């Protein structure tokens, strides 16, 4: 590994430059640069000739050189547990768009919540030099991240894992969960089931949302009843469906369900309706995340709607406006009130 | 740009090597390598000391050097139009997992179907050297890709854009669409509406699926009726919902709908049910893609289920087993028969 420097030197000396391409075509270096970067105005015919010369000479635009000049690669990495979870997919989409508006390229990683993969990404292994890393870790905690070997600015998404001196961007999960519960209380619901509690695993989200649920019940003078709290392994549709089956079998007879994310709510609603329960007349249902799917389910699903565009912009700002300020940076949320909670008092 | 080589040379001469870290901690280079790569077995205490030394000395694992030795970066790029479309999100998830099984890192790009972004990615601008690019282009055609300046192996996903000598991995869209239509015919449906035709834009998918629909009708001796064919701008839930409103207003009175993807089907089903139509008793509905959401809608949505895991593996194989063989490489599909087409004859 120690001889890499000299090998790179050899490569550099024989590297075709932009000027070589310009000389071959008989145009300015600026014109070649315009073709490569899609900037300026070049006729199709001339662009084709430049591309042909680039291909013949084996020229590769030198990202590293541009970076040395600007001090910025204009690339950031985004690491999320699962792209097939709609909330993460929609978040990734927002982040890529917010970055594109500033000519920043986002490279997305999926970690599957695996410690080894999260570690490699946070250490910058296998990746080119980036301006920053935006990460939603599942397996790693603050202690693990304290010892990361990559100095790239890091912004954490979602849950507050310890106080490790990192910048976190998130909604206030406790306040938002309390708001969801208050929404059901305001409709006259009194036996509100919670789907999404977790006693194992590192899921801080579940802990914070359960705390918000309890807080709202207490404020309304309703005693917390753990027979109305249903645990899940993960936050997927299948877990919500399984929890709803337990609700139907338990005889708990809730008049409402607060599911800790929309997938849990959608899975639960499917089982409830298929089992003859009327939503919202018998049981009102509210979720969390406001994924697009919730607007098209039957009935459409009420949900806590975090300000995801603001979250995306804030995460990028934190990277580019100097070292990310440690601490919790919260974004707002609203209640999207839809047919699944139109009742029982309306 | 031509002086980049010498600057890189300077950087290389002062670069901390793995051996420096090993010397500082008093362990072998192999042990440091194990800590960096998460391989082998190292005690937590020793790993912490190695990490501390790495951090102090500013060592950065040299990806370029590893690549020079192996001739492979073990990184591929994946470029998809929209991560917030569940089919693309689930496909990205499958591809990342299939790659991880082979210790390959996938960096995901979102193009938004923009020609400039697709061009930059296919030209390898702004990205490190990759072993290959897997791309689902929307804006670029075969002619554009013929002139790309990056020699990285390219595998196209989805639609057959021209015969540009590229490798394409896809389901047989025409055969699959015919199968969806035959499924509805086998249930006794005769007035089958199609949602998803497109007369503008480069969407080859819509053209191939419409051809399959026509083919199946003709084979069953049913005349093609363009009043039953509903165009859409995009393949999103909102387009399916808008098409369903037109169906209800048109007086076309179909007994079934074949939507060209699941999002169109789910958007349409929401409007039909909200409008008092019973699915499947009045109108049976089938989609295409078999996204997870279709298993949890009410009623659950029948769909064409492409073999996405096979598609993911095949795309990666094509990159690593020599230059990708040009031509269409198809993967299989099945019909996922669910409640939305249980009837009208059952």
Helices and strands counted in chain A (H then E): 13, 12
3-state secondary structure of A55: helix
CA distance B124 to B131: 11
CB-nearest partner of A96 from B59, B110, B148 = B110
Q: What mean pLDDT do residues B26-37 have? A: 81
- The confidence band for B220, taking pLDDT boundaries of 50, 70 and 90, is very high
- pLDDT in the model for residue A345: 38
Tell me if A117 and B100 make a contact (CB, 8 A cut-off). Answer: yes
Of A19, A61, A100, the CB nearest to B2: A19
B124: CB partners within 8 A, 6+ apart: A60, A61, B130, B133, B149, B150, B152
- Which carries the bigger pLDDT value, residue B322 or residue A265? A265
pLDDT tens digit sequence for B161-198: 666 688 999 999 999 999 999 999 999 999 999 999 99
**Residue B109 with chain A: CB contacts under 8 Å:** 96, 105-108
Decide if A287 contacts A265 (C-beta within 8 A).
yes
Smallest Cβ distance to A110: which of B58, B93, B292? B93
Q: How far is A242 from chain B (nearest CA, A)?
A: 12
pLDDT for B7: 37
- Please name the member of B36, B54, B68 whose beta carbon is closest to the beta carbon of A4: B68
Cβ neighbours for B20, distance < 8 A, ≥ 6 positions apart: B57, B59
What is the distance in angstroms between the Cα of A72 and the nearest Cα belonging to chain B? 12
Superfamily of domain A173-306+334-341: Response regulator (3.40.50.2300)
Contact criterion met (CB < 8 Å) for A297 and B292: no
Percentage of residues in chain B with pLDDT exceeding 90?
56
Instruction: Report the candidate in A125, A121, A167, A124 with the shortest Cα–Cα distance to residue A142.
Output: A167
- How much is the pLDDT for A11? 38
Q: Which residues of chain A have pLDDT under 50?
A: 1-13, 344-346
Closest in B2, B36, B151 to A125, CB measured: B36
Across the interface, whether the CB atoms of A149 and B54 are under 8 A apart is answered yes
Domains A74-171+309-332 and A173-306+334-341 share a fold: yes
ipTM of the complex: 0.79
The residue of chain B nearest to residue A55, with distances taken between CA atoms, is B149
B68 with A298: Cβ contact below 8 A: no
CB within 8 Å: B36 and A64: no
Helices (H), chain B: 4-13, 18-25, 29-37, 44-57, 63-70, 86-100, 115-122, 142-146, 173-186, 204-219, 237-250, 262-274, 308-320
Q: Is the pLDDT confidence value at B11 over 80? A: no
Residues of chain A contacting residue B283, judged by C-beta atoms under 8 Å apart: none
Which residues from chain B sit within 8 angstroms of residue A140, using beta carbons?
A: none
Å from B107 to nearest chain A CA? Answer: 5
Q: How many helices (H) and strands (E) does chain B have?
A: 13, 12
Say which residues have a Cβ less than 8 Å from residue B251's Cβ, sequence separation at least 6.
Answer: none
Nearest residue in chain B measured CA to CA from A238: B296
Question: What is the structure's pLDDT at B130?
Answer: 83
Q: Which CATH superfamily is domain B173-308+334-341 in?
A: Response regulator (3.40.50.2300)
Instruction: Give A100's contacts in chain B (Cβ within 8 Å).
Output: 112, 117
Residues A36-65: pLDDT tens digits?
766 677 888 888 888 888 877 777 665 555
**Candidate from B63, B68, B74 with C-beta closest to A7:** B68
Q: Which CATH class is domain A74-171+309-332?
A: alpha beta
- Determine, for residues A125 and B8 on separate chains, whether the beta-carbon distance falls below 8 Å: no
Task: Name the pLDDT band for B88 (thresholds 50, 70, 90).
Answer: very high
Domain boundaries, chain B: 1-49, 73-170+309-332, 173-308+334-341
What is the third-level CATH fold of A4-61? 434 Repressor (Amino-terminal Domain) (1.10.260)
- Note the helical H segments in chain A: 4-13, 18-25, 29-37, 44-57, 63-70, 86-100, 115-122, 142-146, 173-186, 204-219, 237-250, 262-274, 308-320
Q: Does CATH place domain B73-170+309-332 in 3.40.50.2300?
A: yes
Cβ proximity of B290 and B304 under 8 Å: yes
Phi, psi of A295 (to 5 degrees): -80, -10
CA distance A261 to chain B (A): 14
Say if the Cβ atoms of A116 and B17 lie within 8 Å.
no
How many CB contacts within 8 angstroms connect chain A with chain B?
234
Directed axis angle between helix B204-219 and helix B173-186, to 10°? Answer: 40
Q: Identify all chain B residues contacting A65, using CB atoms and an 8 Å cutoff.
A: 1, 3-4, 7
Chain B contacts of A72, Cβ < 8 Å? none
pLDDT at B109 over 70: yes
């Amino acid at each position: 590994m120690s001889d890499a420097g000299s090998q790179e030197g050899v490569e550099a000396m024989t590297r075709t430059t932009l000027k070589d391409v310009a000389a071959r075509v008989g145009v300015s270096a600026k014109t070649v640069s315009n073709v490569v970067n899609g900037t300026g105005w070049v006729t199709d015919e001339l662009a084709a000739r430049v591309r042909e010369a680039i291909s013949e000479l084996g020229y590769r635009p030198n990202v590293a050189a541009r970076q040395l000049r600007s001090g910025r690669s204009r690339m950031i990495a985004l690491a999320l547990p699962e792209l097939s979870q709609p909330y993460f997919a929609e978040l990734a989409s927002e982040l890529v768009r917010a970055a594109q508006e500033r000519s920043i390229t986002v490279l997305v990683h999926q970690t599957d919540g695996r410690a080894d993969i999260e570690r490699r990404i946070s250490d910058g292994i296998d990746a080119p030099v980036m301006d920053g890393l935006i990460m939603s870790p599942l397996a790693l905690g603050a202690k693990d991240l304290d010892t990361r070997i990559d100095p790239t600015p890091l912004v954490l998404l979602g849950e507050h894992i310890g106080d490790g001196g990192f910048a976190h961007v998130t909604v206030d999960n406790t306040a938002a969960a309390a708001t969801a519960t208050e929404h059901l209380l305001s409709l006259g619901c009194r036996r509100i089931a919670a789907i999404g509690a977790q006693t194992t695993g590192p899921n801080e989200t579940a802990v914070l949302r359960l705390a918000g649920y309890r807080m709202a019940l207490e404020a309304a003078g309703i005693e917390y009843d753990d027979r109305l709290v249903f645990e899940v392994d993960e936050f997927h549709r299948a877990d919500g469906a399984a929890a709803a089956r337990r609700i139907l079998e338990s005889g708990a007879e809730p008049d409402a369900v607060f599911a800790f994310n929309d997938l849990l709510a959608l899975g639960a609603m499917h089982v409830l309706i298929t089992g003859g329960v009327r939503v919202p007349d018998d049981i009102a249902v509210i979720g969390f995340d406001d994924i697009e799917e919730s607007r098209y389910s039957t009935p459409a699903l009420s949900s806590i709607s975090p300000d995801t565009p603001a979250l995306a912009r804030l995460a990028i700002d934190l990277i580019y406006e100097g070292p990310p300020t440690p601490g919790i940076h919260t974004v707002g949320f609203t209640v999207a009130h839809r047919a699944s909670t139109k009742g029982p008092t309306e």
